[in-house]
Structures are given as structure tokens and as C-alpha cells.
Amino acid sequence: MEVPTKDMRIGFNVTPFQGGHSVRGIGSYTRNLLEELKKTDLEIVEFTDPNKISDVDLIYYPWFDLFFRTLRIGKIPTVVMVHDSMPLIFPKAYPSGIKGKINLIFQRRELKKAKLIVTNSETSKKDISKYLGINKDKIFTIPLAAGSEFRVLPEADKKKTKVKYNLPDQFLLYVGDANYVKNLPFLIKGFKEVKETNKFKDFKLVLVGGAFLNRDLNHPELASLQEVHELVKKNGLEAAVMMPGQIGISDLVGFYNLASLYIQPSLYEGFGIPVLEAMQCNCPVLCSDGGSLPEVGGKAVEYFDPVNLGELVSKMVTVLTDQELRSKLAKKGFKQAEKFSWSITAKETINVFKKTLDAE
């Protein structure tokens, strides 16, 4: 018998609001989903300490750490969101150390106690089954979304952002982290070749994200960022590559609106929210076909092989040269983005909660 939503009392772990997760994708996911769930007739009980949560029908963990012991599953039915298995797919780029390897054993053991697991793409679902040993029947795919604040802006608002950051008339945009899978050295190399053609000599590349202002590059996971800085300097691109750091949401919306083209060069993605953010701002998108990106972009973006530099350069030149193609991509992207929303994400998450309790 199906459990009525109004009778469901959900314990929601809000630990991602603390520490580094708060300004990354996991924090954004937790915030947006929680906001939508609170609009329903569910009773939400927020908690951070699993030892202090009781008197709920179900517990939800909106994230899963591979190398830190954050998951504690007791007798209360539990659903866990696993965003991706990236560090297990690219272990050399994400060294876990002895402690991390031990923690992974415990985390995997706890994860198997979960009644059901959710993830954000079919690609991630396959990875979770393969690398964490979870039966696919226990994993449900629920796509994410971009926030409603990402939208087409009036010209006056765009001008304010342009003046504030001294943005050029024509620029390529990337938004996100700077770790290995983001494949940014590859993007710098491609941009350098495009810049060498006279037609695009005035174009700039704008890299948005807090990681780009990180000057302590000794950590193994920052090797890719170090290579980015070295390539920029070696090729004399200091004036052509802008790194404004972490910017506010309202300014970021302006960046997407002003960009000539958004580029996602990732080797692999578990989802790819910036692609949707760009689409909602009517910005044409060029991205790799790595991981789940084709699930997000559908037929509304131009794709390239993330290890084929010649193809990247060719696609960049083609799209930047053809205004009609950019307009077509922008229109198709805007329509594609309409398929995703946080209200849909919340509705499908509630359905998983119901499945969990129906099985009890």
C-alpha cells in the first residue's frame, strides 16, 4: 500500500552546508532539493549527527564521500545520493592514501545497507554498480537542474556585468573546478591555436571558479591547474585568459548571457550543471562527449572528443565563425534546458522515498 506523502517524516542530512561542499555542486544540489521538498507536504527534519536523529520514517543522505567515513546507516530506512564515482575511475588523479582506502571499505559497506540509491545520470548509475558493487536494481537515476535564476537578461543588466568585470565584446566561457577531469590544459591548447588565426585574435577565454585563484599548487589534485598557469605563461596568453575567481550568482548569470560560446572540455562528467546554466541563459554550448554530457546536452550542443585537439579547434572555429549556427544552438539549448527543473528532481526523489517505504 502506497504511503501518503503527508504522512512521511524525512530526516534530511544537511552536512553539505558545512565546509568545502557548501560552495560546490553537492552544496548546491542539497540546497535546491531541500528548498523544493519544503514546498511539499513532507515533514522535513534537518540533521547533521546521525546519532541524534530518530522518530523519522526515512533518512536521506544527499551526498556520499568515498574516502571519508560520513555514512552511518542504522535501523531507519535510508536512501543515499551518490553523485559520481570519479576518483575510482581516475585513481591516479585522485590519490586517496592508506587512510582513504580504508575509509572506502567502510563507506562501501555502509552504502550496501541503504534501501535505495539515487544518482544523477545513467552514466553514473553504471559507474556506481561497477566500482561500488551495487546492484543496478537498487539505483534510480534522477537528473539535476540549473537554478531558475539562470535566465536571459535585459541588455541593461548585461551591460552592468560587462562594465563591472571589464569583459571583452567576444569571449569563450568555462565555469567550474580545475581538477584533472575538467581537462583545462587541453582547452588552453585549443584556445591558443584558435587565437593564432587572425579572425579570432581579439577573443578572450574566461575561466570562472574559486580554484583559479588558488596559488598553493603543491597538492596532487591541483597538478592540472598548475599546468594551466604554466601553459598560459608559456604561450603569452596572460592578457587573453581571464580568471575572475568565484563570483556571485547574479554576476555569473551575466557572464553566461554575454559569452559568445560556453565550452565544457571535461574528460568525464557525472552530470554537468554548467551546461544547463548556459542553455537557460541562451548561450550556445560546445562540449565534450565525456561521461554523462550527451545525456544533459542531447541534440542541442556541438560535441567533440576530449582527447582530440584537432577536433576541438575545428569545432571552435566552425561555431565561432557561423553566427547562424550559434543562434540555432542557443535556441535548441534553451528548449533542451526546459526538460530539467528542481521541481521535477524533487518529485522523482519523493517517488523514491515512497518506493522505499512501500517496500517496508
Q: pLDDT tens for residues 287-329?
A: 999 999 999 999 999 999 999 999 999 999 999 999 999 999 9
CA-based nearest residue to 276, from 125, 151, 123: 151
Beta bridge partners of 207: 174
Residue-averaged pLDDT of the chain: 94
pLDDT tier, 4 (very low <50, low <70, confident <90, very high otherwise): low
pLDDT at 220: 65
What are the grid coordinates assigned to 104, written together? Answer: 572506502
pLDDT at 173: 98
Task: Pinpoint the alpha helices (H) of the chain.
Answer: 25-37, 86-89, 97-111, 122-132, 155-165, 184-195, 223-234, 249-258, 273-280, 293-297, 309-321, 323-337, 342-358
By mean pLDDT, which of 11-20, 255-264, 268-277 is the weakest? 11-20
Instruction: Please say whether the beta carbons of 90 and 96 come within 8 A.
Output: no
pLDDT at 214: 73
d(CA 130, CA 128): 5
Instruction: Please say whether the beta carbons of 21 and 70 come within 8 A.
Output: no
- Following CA atoms 264, 131, 66, 208 in sequence, which dihedral angle do they give, to the nearest 10 degrees? 0
CA-based nearest residue to 70, from 51, 54, 84: 51
What are the grid coordinates assigned to 38, written together? Answer: 519544503
Residue carrying the nine cell digits 572528443: 305
The contacts of residue 310 (CB under 8 Å, 6+ apart) are: none
Question: What structural domains does the chain harbor?
Answer: 5-145+341-358 (3.40.50.2000), 155-337 (3.40.50.2000)
Taking the chain, what is the end-to-end CA distance rounded to the nearest angstrom? 10
d(CA 42, CA 60): 13
CA-based nearest residue to 73, from 13, 1, 2: 13
Amino acid found at 161: T
Instruction: Please say whether the beta carbons of 281 and 256 come within 8 A.
Output: yes
CA angle, residues 68, 70, 74, in degrees to nearest 5: 140
On whether the pTM is more than 0.75, the answer is yes
pLDDT tier, 359 (very low <50, low <70, confident <90, very high otherwise): confident
Amino acid found at 26: I
Amino acid found at 124: S
Beta bridge partners of 185: none
What are the grid coordinates assigned to 326, written together? Answer: 550559434
What are the grid coordinates assigned to 134, written together? Answer: 551495487
Instruction: Please say whether the beta carbons of 207 and 241 come within 8 A.
Output: yes
* pLDDT tens, position by position, 121-153: 999 999 999 999 999 999 999 999 999 999 999
